[in-house]
Amino acid sequence: MGCGWGAGRSFRADAAKGRITQVDATAFEHRFHQHFAALELADKQLLVALSGGRDSVALLFLLRFVCGARVLAAHLDHGMRANSGADAQWVAGLCRAWAIPLVTARCREAPHGEDAARRERYAFLQSAARVVQADRLVLGHHADDQAETVLFRVLRGTGVPGLAGMAPLGPGLLARPLLPFWRRDVACYARARQLRWRNDASNRELGYARNRIRLDLIPRIERTIAPAARAGLVRLAELARENEILVKQAVGGVTSEAIRTDGEAVILSRAVFRQNPVLAPLLLRHALRNFGPAPGRVGTRMAVSFITDSPSGREFLLPGGVSLLAEFDEVRIRRSGMAAAPDRPLCLDGTAGTGMARIGGREYRVAWEIGTWLGDAPDRVGLHPKQLCMPLLVRGPAPGDRVRLSGGSRLLKKLWGDRRVPRSRRAATPVLADAVGRTLWVAGVARTVEFQPQHGEDALLIHISDA
C-alpha cells in the first residue's frame, strides 16, 4: 500500500489497524531540524553513509535540503550481490544530481556474512571520514534499528551498558540524527517528498540474524505478547543510557583516588575498591582499557575479589599477558614477562655535577652539589662531605645491603617490609653507596645515621628524580 500526498502532507501506515493516517511532512522536517540542532551538527562537515536504501537517502535529503548542512557521502560496494555495482552507479548519479561529493570503494573480496560486511563497511567509513576531514560520520539508524539492536543484545546476554543500544552521538565521530524516528515515519516521509531509492533484496532474507529479528521475532512478539514491544525496547535503551551516565559520573568521582599510573604500570588503591564494591568492576575495566580486552563477567568478579581480599605478594594473571600484583595497600597492573633494560649505575666523583642512571628499568636524573643542608626529603639527601669515602655510586639494590639506622644496622631485605615498599618498586629504587660499599641512602626509604650534617651546615646535597 502506498502513501498518498496532498497539500504538503505525507501519510503514515498505521501498523496496528492496517489503514493510513495523515502526518504533516513539514512537521516531520521541523522535528528533525530541532533534533539536528540539539546534536550541534549545524556547523560541522558531515560524511553520510549512503547505501542507496530508503533510510540513508531520506537522511541525505534532510541534511542537504532541509538543514542546509555541509554534507559529503560515502558508499561501499561489498560485492555480495549480483547487482551491487548497479547500486553504486545509482548512488553516484544521485550525488551528482544533488551536488554532493561522493567517496566510493569496492571490497576486493566479498565479505562472508553480515558481521564481516559490517566490519568492512565501518572500516571504510572511518577511513573516508579521515580522508575528507569530516567532523561527524552520520548513519541512518532509526528507532526500529534501536529496538532490534537492544533485543539482539538481550538475547546474547548483554550487560547494562549493552542495553543502552546506540547513542545519538558516538562512539568517536558517529552521529545518528534519525534515531528518534520510527521506520514507518521515515518511509512515508520519503514517499511524501517523492524520493527514490534502491531496494536490497537481502534485507528480506531470514538467514541473517538481524533480518529474522526484524521480520519475524519482533512482529510475533507484538502480535502475541507485547503490542508495544519496539517502543518498550527503545524506552529500555533510554533508561539504560541514563543509568550509564550516572554510573560514569560516579566512577569519575573516585577514579583519581582509585587509579594512578607509574611508568607503564597502573596502580589501584585497594581501600577505594573496598569502599566502592558496586563501582569496583567498572573501575577495574577503566584501569584495564590500555591493556587490551577486559575480562568477562566471571573474570572481572574474580579480579575484583583478588584486589580487595588477596594477601600482599600474591599475583593474579589475566588473559593477554596482564597480571595483577598485590602490594600492601595497592595492586599493580602490568604486562607479565616484560624484561627491564639492564641497570646503568652512575658514579658521583667530585663535589658537583649531573648525570643519568638506569635502575630497574627506570631512568633517573641525578644532581649533586655543595650547599646548605636544611633537611632530607624522599628525593633528596644531605651528607657531610669531609667524612665521605669518594667516589659515590648510584646503583640498584644488591644482596646483603645494610643501612645503619638509629637502632642499629638493618638488612635492606628486612627494611623493605618494615617500610611497606611494594616488591615491584624495590628493584627500581636507587641506592647510594660509598667507595667501600657502605649504604648511605635508599631513595625514598631510609638514610644512614652516619655522615649526617647539622642543620644549616654545608653538605653534599644529592637529588634524584625521574628523568
- List alpha helices for 319-422, DSSP H: 412-418
Give the mean pLDDT of 397-424.
Answer: 92
DSSP state of 387: G
Examine the pLDDT at 319 and tell me if it is beyond 80. Answer: yes
- Confidence at 294, pLDDT banded by 50, 70, 90: confident
Helices (H) and strands (E) in the chain, counts: 15, 23
Distance between CA atoms of 138 and 118, rounded to whole angstroms? 15
Nine-digit cell at 186?
521515515
Cβ proximity of 430 and 394 under 8 Å: yes
Q: In 360-434, which ranges are E strands? A: 362-372, 380-383, 392-395, 402-405, 408-411, 431-433
Mean pLDDT taken over the chain: 90
pLDDT band at 23 (very low <50, low <70, confident <90, very high): low
Question: Is the Cα dihedral 280, 285, 290, 292 positive or negative?
Answer: positive
pLDDT band (50, 70, 90) for residue 338? low
Residue 157 has pLDDT above 60, yes or no: yes
- Report the distance separating Cα 30 and Cα 36, nearest Å: 10
**Is it true that the peptide bond before 111 is cis, omega within 30 degrees of 0?**
no
Quote the pLDDT of residue 30: 94
Which CA distances in Å does 139 have to 107, 174, 300? Answer: 20, 7, 33
Query: DSSP strand E in 188-335: where?
Result: 259-262, 265-269, 315-318, 322-327, 330-335
Averaged pLDDT for residues 313-333? 91
pLDDT at 13: 43
The 10s digit of each residue's pLDDT in 49-93 is 999 999 999 999 999 999 999 999 999 998 888 888 899 999 999
**Could you give the CA distance from residue 110 to residue 112 in angstroms, rounded to a whole number?**
7
Cβ count within 10 A of residue 434 = 20
Exposed (0-12), middle (13-18) or buried (19+): which is 128, by Cβ within 10 Å?
A: buried
Instruction: Give pLDDT tens digits for 4-14.
Output: 333 334 444 44
219, pLDDT greater than 60: yes
Structural domains of the chain in order of their starting residue, each with its CATH number: 9-240 (3.40.50.620), 263-335 (3.30.465.60), 346-466 (no CATH)
Question: Residue 116's Cα: distance from chain center in Å?
Answer: 23
Chain segment 168-208, per-residue pLDDT in tens: 998 999 999 999 999 999 999 999 999 999 998 888 888 88
25-35: per-residue pLDDT in tens?
899 999 999 99
Question: According to the model, what pLDDT value does residue 353 have?
Answer: 94
Window from 10-14, 230-234, 345-349 with minimum mean pLDDT: 10-14
The pLDDT, as a whole number, for residue 220 is 96
